[in-house]
Amino acid sequence: MSMLTTDKVIMNATAQDKYEAIRMAGQILKDAGHITADYIDKMLEREEIVSTYVGNGLAIPHGTKESKASILSTGISVIQFPQGVDFGDEQAYMVIGIAAQGGEHMEILTSIAVICAEEENMEALRHAKTAEEVITILESEMEL
């Protein structure tokens, strides 16, 4: 069973700012039963501590260390923003929310960062037309 399913991928989204984008990523995780509502607050709190923008048009919002109790199961959400979302000095075109239990957190974070460090992967994600395309790109490079 894949961790990433079409109901956790939003295509052609828009957001007023990075906080709205983070809330959207968190809401997908909540709706899928991976987190409680408290986790979304912790995702926003983390953004205040340090930006979750990692470069190359990608932001990976996730909760703080104190948010572990709000994670019900490991899951990821993916949102494509063709016009970009302002994350400070940079534009994020892909926002991938993470909620992971135990040691899975760093593994998922690292896998996503490695995939998205490749310019051709980010271009493919940015220009994907369907959720299935996004899932195929991400799953081709990582064990979801």
CA nearest to 140, candidates 33, 58, 82, 128: 128
Q: Please tell me the predicted confidence (pLDDT) of residue 1.
A: 36
Report CA Rg, the chain.
13
Q: Respond yes or no: is residue 62 known to be catalytic.
A: yes
Q: Which of 34, 62, 105, 127 is catalytic?
A: 62
Which CATH entry fits the domain spanning 6-140: 1.10.274.10, 1.10.1740.10, 3.40.930.10, 3.40.50.1100?
3.40.930.10
Please give the pLDDT value at position 61: 96
> Along the 144 residues of the chain, how does pLDDT read in single tens digits?
367 899 999 999 999 999 999 999 999 999 999 999 999 999 999 999 999 999 999 999 999 988 999 999 999 999 999 999 999 889 999 999 999 887 777 788 888 888 888 899 999 999 999 999 999 988 876 654
Helix (H), strand (E) at residue 98: strand 91-99
User: For helices 119-127 and 131-141, what crossing angle results, to 10°?
Assistant: 160
Global confidence as pTM: 0.92
SS (H, E, C) 122-137: HHHHHHCCCHHHHHHH
Residue 143: predicted pLDDT: 53
